[in-house]
């Protein structure tokens, strides 16, 4: 027996088939979202050292591609960028004097829709530091007076503002990082300091030998954020490298740049001096991720990884 269907009946059947197919596709998509695979989180170096920059990488599963990654580590915002091979990478920093592990949190945004929150813990290798006694001008070797304390507070407000702007700036330090002076390290990062036998502190930067008038170079591409005379740091220049990273150049005899200038790695930004609290002419170089001071040499190590 031959069954003949009218044109209207065939159109209704076709529409019903399309409806069923759409429902099946949605069912598969809903199922895929329900069983999405979390990405892998890794870091380099492993473990990172106390007081150092390092890199965090989020590696998506092929079954669950990602639209974006956001997060924080050790209390500072992370700034992920998508790499050429599809992973998401960010710089991060380990504070000095913290625990033997630091925690991070991520917000994962999936390409198929939906978000997920993850936490992770990074083991930390302890640092090794020395102690040294220094003789400075009596004004800086004893408790500061009221006028100097007020000036110091004004100085200290400038660095956090530069760090906040670095958190709002995309990473621009994409070229090779260099030493701002190709000279001997005279005092290492993290070493203890005792000034005139009274005031103790930790040396949160790197001292590089230099004679008055020697050239100081930008360590990496950046935007000039601060050019100012500080009480303890003397004449300073701060550069914003984006991605949360700033670098500072202290005790200059003379800055060679102005705020809002954009400089490249290796460009002269100042001259070595002996301004501020010093024992003699040298460059004091600092690097910070947000509010976390790190060994400046770890910025060079990041570029080599």
Q: Which two tokens stand for residue 269?
A: 């930004």
Query: How many distinct helices (H) and strands (E) make up the chain?
Result: 3, 21
> Whole-angstrom Cα distance, residue 79 to residue 220?
18
Q: What are the phi and psi torsion angles at 120 (to 5°)?
A: -150, 160
Burial of 267 (0-12, 13-18, 19+ CB in 10 A): middle
pTM for this predicted structure: 0.81
Q: Which two tokens stand for residue 16?
A: 């019903």
Per-residue pLDDT of the chain (305 residues; tens, 9 = 90+): 333 444 444 433 444 443 334 433 333 344 444 568 999 999 999 999 999 999 999 999 999 999 999 999 999 999 999 998 899 999 999 999 878 999 999 999 999 999 999 999 999 998 877 656 555 555 555 567 788 778 778 888 888 899 999 999 999 987 689 999 999 998 889 866 554 444 456 788 999 999 999 999 999 999 999 999 999 999 999 999 999 999 999 999 999 999 999 999 999 999 999 999 888 999 999 999 999 999 999 999 887 55
The answer to whether residues 105 and 58 touch, using CB atoms and an 8 Å cutoff, is no
Q: What pLDDT, on the 0 to 100 scale, is given for residue 173? A: 87
The answer to whether residues 51 and 295 touch, using CB atoms and an 8 Å cutoff, is yes
CB atoms inside a 10 Å sphere around CB 139: 11
> Whole-angstrom Cα distance, residue 233 to residue 173?
24
The answer to whether residues 275 and 234 touch, using CB atoms and an 8 Å cutoff, is yes
DSSP state of 5: P
Q: What pLDDT, on the 0 to 100 scale, is given for residue 20? A: 34
DSSP string, 72-84: EETTEEE--EE-T
Q: What pLDDT, on the 0 to 100 scale, is given for residue 212? A: 96
Q: What pLDDT, on the 0 to 100 scale, is given for residue 132? A: 60
Q: What pLDDT, on the 0 to 100 scale, is given for residue 155? A: 80
> Whole-angstrom Cα distance, residue 219 to residue 256?
15
Burial of 140 (0-12, 13-18, 19+ CB in 10 A): middle
Q: Which residues contact 77 (CB under 8 A, 6 or more apart)?
A: 71, 167, 244, 290
The answer to whether residues 221 and 241 touch, using CB atoms and an 8 Å cutoff, is yes
> Whole-angstrom Cα distance, residue 173 to residue 284?
20
Q: What pLDDT, on the 0 to 100 scale, is given for residue 19? A: 36
Q: Which two tokens stand for residue 121?
A: 């813990």
| Residue with the two structure tokens 């700033």 | 246
Longest Cα–Cα distance in the chain: 114
Q: What pLDDT, on the 0 to 100 scale, is given for residue 58? A: 98
């Amino acid at each position: 027996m031959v069954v003949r269907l009218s044109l209207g009946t065939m159109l209704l059947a076709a529409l019903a088939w399309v409806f069923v197919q759409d429902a099946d596709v949605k069912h598969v998509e809903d199922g895929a979202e329900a069983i999405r695979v979390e990405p892998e989180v890794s870091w380099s170096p492993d473990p990172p050292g106390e007081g150092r920059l390092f890199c965090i990488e989020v590696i998506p599963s092929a079954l669950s591609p990602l639209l974006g990654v956001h997060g924080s580590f050790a209390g500072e915002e992370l700034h992920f960028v998508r790499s050429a091979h599809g992973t998401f990478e960010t710089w991060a920093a380990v504070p000095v004097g913290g625990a033997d592990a630091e925690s991070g949190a991520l917000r994962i945004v999936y390409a198929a829709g939906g978000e997920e929150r993850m936490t992770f813990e990074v083991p930390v290798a302890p640092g090794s530091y020395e102690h040294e006694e220094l003789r400075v001008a009596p004004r800086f070797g004893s408790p500061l007076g009221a006028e100097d304390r007020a000036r110091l507070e004004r100085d200290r407000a400038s660095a956090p503002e530069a760090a906040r702007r670095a958190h709002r700036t995309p990473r621009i330090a994409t070229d090779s990082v260099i030493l701002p002076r190709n000279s001997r390290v005279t005092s290492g990062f993290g070493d203890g300091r005792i000034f005139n036998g009274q005031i103790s502190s930790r040396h949160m930067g790197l001292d590089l030998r230099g004679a008055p008038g020697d050239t100081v170079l930008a360590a990496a591409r950046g935007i000039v954020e601060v050019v100012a005379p500080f009480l303890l740091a003397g004449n300073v220049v701060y550069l914003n490298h984006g991605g949360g990273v700033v670098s500072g150049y202290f005790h200059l005899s003379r800055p060679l740049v102005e705020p809002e200038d954009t400089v490249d790695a290796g460009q002269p930004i100042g001259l070595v001096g002996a301004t501020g609290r010093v024992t003699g002419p040298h460059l004091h170089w600092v690097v910070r991720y947000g509010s976390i001071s790190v060994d400046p040499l770890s910025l060079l190590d990041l570029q080599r990884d």
